[in-house]
Chains A and B, each alone.
Chain A
Amino acid sequence: MKKELLEVGYAVPRQDARAKVTGEEKYALDHYPENLLWAGAKRAGVAHGRILEIDFAAAEALPGVFAVLTRKDVPGTNRQGIVHKDQPVLAGERVRHRGDPVALVLAENREVLAQALSLIRVEIEPLPAVFDPEEALKPDAPRIHERGNLLLHAKIEKGKAEEAFSECAVVVVETFEAPCQEHCFLETENGVAWQEPDGKIVMIVSTQAPFRDRFEIAHALGLEAGSIRIISPYLGGAFGGKDGATVQCLLALAALHAQGRPVKMWWEREESFAAGYKRHAARMYYRAGARADGTLHALQCRLYYDSGAYAHLGGEVLELGMEHAGGPYRIPHTDIEGWCVYTNNPIGGAMRGFGVCQVSFAFERVMDLLAAKLGLDPLDFRLKNALQRGDRNCTGVTLVHSTGIVPCLEALKRHALWTGREKWKLSAGPFKKRGAGLAAVFNAMGYGRGLPDSAVAKVEFTPEGRFRIYSGVPDMGQGNATAFLQIAGEILCQDASRLELIQPDTERCLPAGSSSAGRTTYTFGNALIRACREMKAKLCHRAALVLMADEERGFALLPGKVRHLPSGRDVDLDFLARLLPEADRSSVGQTVMPVSQDVPDTGKGFIIGFPHVFFSYAAHLAYVEIDELTGKIEVREYLAVTEGGRVINPQGFEQQVHGAVAQGIGYALMEQVALDQGQILNPNFADYLLPTSLDVPDIVSVSVETVEPTGPFGMKGIGEVGANAPVPAIAGAVEDAIGVRLTRSPFTGGRVLSMLEETP
């Protein structure tokens, strides 16, 4: 249905789609200011070592080279990192992974830059290195950081797991491994920056967290956060990989040495692989038991997440993994222990599903195995144990907010793809085997306790009579900008022609946190609702003054006007716009996401971000067909049922589900950053395979609408949850088809084939 007004609940096409499809939209990458310099980093190329010498004389002497900078040119602490400041902007003494930058070159053009980088000679004395998190915890392991190799160790204990196992009728023990996954946003990390005559650094950068970036840069380079301005246009994808400093500190450093000239830094694809953040590789030891009546009873797991060389958000990623380790189920006894460990691998970081993707693989496979042992239908077994509002989850937190896994599973159970699966399986062609697999997953929303999840929104009534929303959270492609416009349109009752949105700019917009954690639309949306309501009240009041009405009641803000309903008299917005003084043009709203009030006496070892209290839920079903000759798995049908409260934009909702599922299918079937001694063997799209249009089926997305009363118009974030289910659903489908138990992803044809050959 076409609507003139921008309103909540309608499948309004994205407001940015038109500019993107014509090529007009300017991403950070599309800025080429006059007179620019190009900056590039020399990377260590050694996984662990001591820097003996950096000889850049030849590079410096090259015509067209503007400057070569090393550690000694970094004015501040030289340390970046969101929670732990352990990552150097430029490595000075020590390198801890191959992608560590050791020198920064500024050059007149890219050709000279490339040549200069190749002329820098870095002498590094290799140190013993370690590439496996469990190895790195051994007492004799090479020490990567002063404080040792353990970034975070934590424990969640609820009930008495060890004893409870003796009360179980069935117990499953299994080990799972999930590899490092690359975000592969198409726009690689980049930005352009310059220093203004007054000393201010201005940066246009592809980032998820413009407001935090200022503090990162300020801390690393010894600057004042207020002297840094970050502008973040629409991003060409991010998925977590642009949360935290990528080019920011290097670019700011370059700008400090560029004598006012703009500097552009743009990582090539291979550099993005080498230096960018990745989904953590994880090894997960699981033991779970259920009683004879089909109730889950005990869970014990040991999780090892590979943080790579630096912390980034490793501790928080592990924390979320642990918090979700028990799946969306009631389990009275849990004993969950986790270690996030430094190695000399590339750096782990935030990625859609944030630590939950990995444990979902383990837990959902364990659910299938338990169901099989109990002789229960896997869906009924899940339903029987599914969390409901009022239950305590596996960490002991009481679920007081919307909890929709049951309706997800029920909708899946009624769906034709579920009821028709046996029939479909029977019609496989020659040398093909078919199977169906199921997964129930969840994903927390927000930063969690200890890190206020807040946003400030501003809306301005312009002299032209338009409403301008100052967004504080970037749109990395997830469509939050359009959701914001719908929210504003809904409250202000205006059509698209009266609404506009400014992408984040730390000088024009107000701090609203990062675009991440499924919190973007929830938190900023709530703040925006307040700002818009205040604006509406203001305009009604000012219209009352114009009409000399005795009281403010009876006024309605309508498209292009304010109407006094009792008298039918209108005040044009255009007229009102010219009347209002500057000081009276804007409204501001702010909110903080509610946090858990019954912090359990678990989660020992967590620093911030534990526990969470809002979750979105999903139940997925995968149909796969396996070629017995090649082992190749094809996903033929895919159903994703999602619960995320009320849906603000059904089209945007589906887009998020489709994208998350596609990334999950990639993680299941083909994606793995292949590492050898910390070196990436497949740092390009020829060798690191991504799903193409031939690999992803027509995903069916079903939304189970509940309501989350604390959310803007009842919504919760659903951008991440869909990425968690494909790996276990596909693994389950494979086991259903050929009886092979996959415990290590990705499930490549070669791996499946060799397992088929092993099975008698």
Chain B
Amino acid sequence: MVRFVLNGKDMQIDAPPDRRVVDLLREDLGLTGTKEGCGAGECGACTVLVDGETRLSCLMLAVQLEGRQVTTIEGLQRETGAGLHPVQEAFVEYGAVQCGFCTPGMALSAVRIIRRNPDPTRAEIREGLSGNLCRCTGYVKIVEAVEAAAWKMSNKPPEKPAKDAAP
């Protein structure tokens, strides 16, 4: 029996201790927002937040969730009350989503970047996203979206931040 908090809800799950967390979420709990792109810790599509830190659910076992707070993409909205999380909003508005398969993992990594550093530079955003592969976007619009979300969450004036000047 594993006990943990999932997207704000107390869970008691009768899963084998060596069940991969990604399978637990997707197959057992039907939370298919968490994706699996490689199963080997190399793509970041399976990213979830565990006690606020990004973790790769394809490398985690059910037993490792004991006593933890887990947030999946499905729980991100809950964190802000109603509607989309500002990161999600920015992903939509700035065109950071194409096929969308990397998106849940990217969005959760973005949330963590902004939590750690409310005013990240583009370089810091790129660094923070470097564990999440995206094959569709070339990352440009994802970086822009994260920048915009950080801006918005810091309650600064509602204007789009200027891009870093070209070198």
Contacts and interface: CB of A to CB of B under 8 A. Distances in A.
Interface in B77-93: 77, 84, 88, 91-93
Nearest to B43: A685
Contacts of B33: 22-24
Contacts of A269: 37-40
Contact of B97 (A14, A30, A654): A14
Nearest to A658: B138
Contact of A655 (B91, B92, B95, B132): B95
Nearest to A19: B100
Interface in A671-703: 684-686, 690-694, 696, 698-699
Contacts of A21: 73, 84, 88, 91-92, 97, 100, 103-104, 107
Interface residues of B, number: 59
Contact of A186 (B37, B129, B167): B37
B137 A658 contact: yes
Contacts of B93: 13
A450 B49 CA distance: 53
B136 A692 contact: no
Contacts of A234: 99-100
Pick from A20, A21, A665 the residue with the most CB of B within 10 Å: A21
B142 interface: yes
Interface in B29-79: 30-40, 42-43, 45, 72-74, 76-77
Nearest to B91: A21
Interface stretch (A276-284, A381-389, A472-480): A472-480
Interface string B146-160: 000000000000000
Nearest to B28: A32
Contacts of A684: 38, 40, 42
Contact of A25 (B100, B107, B125, B133): B100
Contacts of B36: 29
Contact of A693 (B32, B42, B77, B142): B142
B95 A22 contact: no
A284 B167 CA distance: 37
Interface in A10-42: 11, 13-14, 16-18, 20-27, 29-30, 32
A325 interface: no
B53 to A, nearest CB: 19
A478 B98 contact: yes
Contacts of A185: 99, 101, 135
Contacts of A16: 97, 100
Contacts of B31: 23
A653 to B, nearest CB: 10
Interface string A643-666: 000000001101100110111010
A14 B34 contact: no
A23 B43 contact: no
Contact of B127 (A29, A239, A694): A694
Interface residues of A, number: 61
A268 interface: yes
B95 A477 contact: no
B12 interface: no
A637 interface: yes
A32 B28 CA distance: 10
A236 interface: yes
B138 A17 contact: no
B101 to A, nearest CB: 3
Contacts of B107: 21
Nearest to B42: A685
A654 B140 CA distance: 10
Given A21-B100, A477-B98, A659 B167 contact: no
B126 A187 contact: no
A233 to B, nearest CB: 11
Contacts of A575: none
Nearest to A420: B166
Contacts of A188: 37
Contacts of A662: 137-139
14 contacts: A13-B93, A14-B95, A21-B103, A24-B74, A185-B101, A236-B101, A237-B135, A239-B135, A651-B95, A662-B139, A685-B38, A685-B43, A692-B131, A698-B140
